[in-house]
């Protein structure tokens, strides 16, 4: 299966089990982190940015002081693909 092919509902459910901290939000998956302070949150965002650039797949990022929320979806496909779950797994390894 091509990495940019939209996943079926059963495929999404299976892949969510591999990244249990992420939740389904419609056509995306989402996770929130809470850090000690803004500099720690910003450092995390920068590490995510490096991973995203290497993968050529970019999350939506929300930051409010020490909280960071990431939303992953494959915008040009209009839903979830293998790329989203691969990047979620890589981010979980940070």
Stated pTM of the model: 0.94
3-state helix, strand, coil in the chain (%, to 5): 40, 25, 35
Checking if the pLDDT of 44 tops 80, the result is yes
The answer on pLDDT for 2 being more than 80 is no
Asked if residue 68 lies in contact with residue 62, where contact means CB atoms within 8 angstroms, the answer is yes
Q: What is the pLDDT of residue 48?
A: 99
Q: Which domains does the chain have, with CATH numbers?
A: 9-92 (3.30.1360.20)
């Amino acid at each position: 299966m091509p990495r940019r092919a939209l996943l079926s509902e059963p495929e999404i459910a299976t892949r969510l089990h591999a990244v249990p901290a992420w939740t389904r939000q419609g056509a995306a998956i989402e996770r929130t982190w809470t850090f000690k302070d803004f500099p720690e949150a910003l450092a995390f965002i920068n590490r995510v940015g490096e991973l995203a650039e290497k993968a050529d797949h970019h999350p939506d990022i929300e930051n409010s002081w020490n909280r960071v929320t990431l939303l992953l979806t494959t915008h040009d496909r209009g839903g979830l693909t293998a790329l989203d779950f691969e990047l979620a797994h890589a981010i979980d390894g940070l």
